Amino acid sequence: MHRDNYKAKLDASQYKLTGQRATVLEVMIRNRGKHLSAEEVLQQARLLRPNIGIATVYRTLEKLASLEILYKGMFDSGKYRYELADDREHHHHHVVCVNCGSITEIKDDLLCELEKNIEKQGFRIVDHDLKFFGYCPNCTKS
Ligand SMILES: [Zn+2]
Ligand SMILES: [Zn+2]
Ligand SMILES: [Zn+2]
């Protein structure tokens, strides 16, 4: 997704991307492909804008998630993480390492086939969500 796509979504929502909010989005763009907690976003945002407040960071992350500019997911105990939404229609899946907490993205998606089977039973599926939990290659070695 390019910056212009964000802009179109922002314009449509009439949400004004003022200085501090723009900093939050800037951090997410710089960390494309990573899954950051609000605290991690705050740390990085402070490097760009030292006086940014945690409340602003939280609010902006929530708002950008509701606009589907960010994806919000829970990967480890009770803590939400945010990542830049990709421009594909369907969100990718994740494997979470139960030892080191690393999050890896899975590109294969066999569930689309399963969705079709469910729809044969009369449902109309709009989305699905799936996470795998296990030990990553690094943790398996040690
Ligand atoms: Zn690991
Ligand atoms: Zn992801
Ligand atoms: Zn899927």
Closest listed residue to residue 25, CA positions, set 39, 14, 10:
10
Overall average pLDDT of the 60-72 stretch: 93
Q: Which ligand is nearest to the CA of 98?
A: 1
Whole-angstrom distance, CA of residue 104 vs CA of residue 83: 12
Overall average pLDDT of the 10-18 stretch: 86
Q: What's the DSSP call for residue 16?
A: -
Distance (angstroms) between ligand 3 centre and the Cα of 131 equals: 10
Distance (angstroms) between ligand 3 centre and the Cα of 90 equals: 7
Residue of 68 and 24 predicted with greater confidence:
24
Overall average pLDDT of the 84-90 stretch: 71
Whole-angstrom distance, CA of residue 61 vs CA of residue 26: 12
Query: Does the pLDDT value for residue 38 go beyond 90?
Result: yes
Domains and CATH numbers, the chain: 3-84 (1.10.10.10), 93-141 (3.30.1490.190)
Structure tokens at 109: 């998606």
Q: Is the dihedral of CA 57, 49, 39, 33 positive or negative?
A: positive
Q: Give me the residues near ligand 1 (ion), CB cutoff below 5 Å.
A: 97, 99-100, 102, 136, 139
pLDDT score recorded for residue 87: 63
Distance (angstroms) between ligand 3 centre and the Cα of 104 equals: 14
Distance (angstroms) between ligand 1 centre and the Cα of 80 equals: 19
Q: Partners of 70 in the beta sheet?
A: 84
Q: What is the pTM of this model?
A: 0.79
For all residues of the chain together, what is the average pLDDT? 89
Distance (angstroms) between ligand 1 centre and the Cα of 13 equals: 39
> Do 90 and 74 form a contact (C-beta atoms < 8 A)?
no
Report CA-CA distances (Å) from 33 to 50, 56, 70, 106.
Answer: 24, 23, 11, 12
Whole-angstrom distance, CA of residue 141 vs CA of residue 127: 35
Distance (angstroms) between ligand 2 centre and the Cα of 90 equals: 11
Pick the range with the lowest mean pLDDT from 13-27, 36-50, 72-86: 72-86
| C-alpha dihedral (19, 21, 27, 33), degrees to nearest 10 | -150
pLDDT score recorded for residue 1: 44
Q: Measured at the alpha carbon of residue 118, what is the angle toward residues 66 and 95, in degrees to the nearest 5?
A: 55
